[in-house]
């Protein structure tokens, strides 16, 4: 089999779907994994071949492992890219969120990535040039009030990427992450809580940022998909979308207290 293979979690919408469409258009076989059967069916109708689908919640390690095993069995054990993309965003001040919603973010955004790594390593290590890539976020550059747990999960992915890029090199597996800013995806439909109750969503943010021209501008999901494509053909650890976020990351890393104080001043 000559076709390269990519397995994508959160594949049926937003960044995941854009990535599935891009790689499929380049002749790749796409393993599309998502928790929504309906959304997967829509994707299947668009990609009528080379796109087996798996309705799996990434929190369920055994089901994710079985899905990846089935996908790789169809390509003689080959897996060129594992894209850990599934994630949710639920906001509000930490004490206002029901603790179960906080746990959901940790379990999907972080534990789901750990599950994806663990299940895919046996196939990645047997594939020349294989890449395990995850969706981090510009939230891993500095913490945002009202998004503390989401921020924590994305910082964790960034740190895990650092560690695994070194650890998995012994197996010939490359590791990277993408760090998107404001991307126009359904993620913004996540609930915003106040006093333990849903008080709205963040759906207006992409529209509010649409006319900006700096790193806060709204970006289409295809730009992140292109970064994943570039990551496979490149050797960078972090792929920033837009690229200006890299300067912000370096500035923050150089002086976290200064960035904290700047954020405090904007809230006065």
Our answer to whether residue 256 is catalytic in this structure is no
Q: How far is CA 2 from the centre of its chain?
A: 27
As a whole-number percent, the residues of the chain with pLDDT over 90 amount to: 94
In eight-state DSSP terms, residue 219 is B
Can you read off the two tokens belonging to residue 27? Answer: 């002749």
Distance CA 179, CA 158 (A): 9
pLDDT grade for 143, boundaries at 50, 70 and 90: confident
pLDDT at position 212: 94
Strands of 127-246, DSSP E: 131-135, 174-180, 191-194, 197-201, 238-241
Distance CA 68, CA 90 (A): 28
* pLDDT above 60 for 187: yes
Across the range 118-146, mean pLDDT stands at 96
pLDDT at position 113: 98
Q: How far is CA 17 from the centre of its chain?
A: 12
Can you read off the two tokens belonging to residue 152? Answer: 């924590």
* pLDDT above 70 for 1: no
Distance CA 164, CA 173 (A): 9
Q: How far is CA 166 from the centre of its chain?
A: 20
Q: For residues 43 and 22, is the Cβ–Cβ distance under 8 A? A: no
* pLDDT above 80 for 115: yes
Q: What is the pLDDT of residues 199-211, one digit of tens each?
A: 999 999 999 999 9
Q: For residues 131 and 5, is the Cβ–Cβ distance under 8 A? A: no
pLDDT at position 81: 99
Across the range 157-165, mean pLDDT stands at 98
Across the range 38-57, mean pLDDT stands at 97
CB half-sphere exposure, 95, CA atoms < 13 A: 0
Distance CA 178, CA 33 (A): 18
Among the options 123, 150, 155, 240, which is catalytic? 150
pLDDT at position 142: 86
* pLDDT above 60 for 72: yes
Distance CA 237, CA 169 (A): 13
pLDDT at position 2: 77
pLDDT at position 71: 98
pLDDT at position 267: 75
Distance CA 167, CA 217 (A): 35
Q: What is the pLDDT of residues 129-142, one digit of tens each?
A: 999 999 999 999 98
Q: Judge: domain 5-87+96-183+220-266, CATH 3.40.50.720.
A: yes
Tally of CB atoms within 10 A around 100: 8
């Amino acid at each position: 089999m000559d076709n390269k293979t990519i397995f994508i979690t959160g594949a049926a919408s937003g960044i995941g779907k854009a990535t599935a469409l891009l790689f499929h258009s380049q002749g790749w076989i796409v393993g599309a994994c998502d928790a929504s059967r309906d959304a997967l069916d829509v994707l299947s109708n668009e990609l009528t071949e080379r796109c087996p689908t798996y309705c799996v919640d990434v929190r369920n390690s055994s089901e994710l492992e079985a899905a990846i095993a089935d996908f790789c069995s169809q390509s003689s054990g080959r897996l060129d890219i594992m894209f850990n993309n599934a994630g949710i965003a639920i906001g509000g001040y930490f004490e206002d969120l029901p603790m179960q919603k906080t746990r959901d973010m940790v379990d999907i955004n972080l534990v789901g990535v750990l599950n994806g790594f663990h299940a895919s390593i046996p196939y990645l290590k047997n594939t020349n040039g294989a890449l395990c890539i995850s969706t981090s976020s510009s939230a891993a550059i500095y913490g945002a009030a009202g998004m503390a747990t989401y921020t924590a999960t994305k910082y964790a992915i960034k740190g895990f990427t650092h560690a695994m890029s070194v650890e998995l090199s012994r197996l010939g597996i490359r590791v990277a992450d993408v760090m998107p800013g404001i991307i126009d995806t359904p993620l913004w439909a996540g609930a915003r809580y106040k006093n333990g109750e849903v008080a709205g969503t963040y759906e207006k943010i992409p529209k509010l940022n649409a006319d900006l021209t700096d790193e806060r501008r709204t970006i289409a999901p295809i730009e992140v998909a292109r970064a994943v494509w570039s990551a496979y053909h490149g050797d960078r650890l972090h792929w920033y979308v837009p690229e200006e976020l890299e300067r912000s990351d370096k500035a923050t890393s150089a002086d976290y207290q200064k960035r904290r104080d700047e954020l405090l001043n904007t809230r006065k």
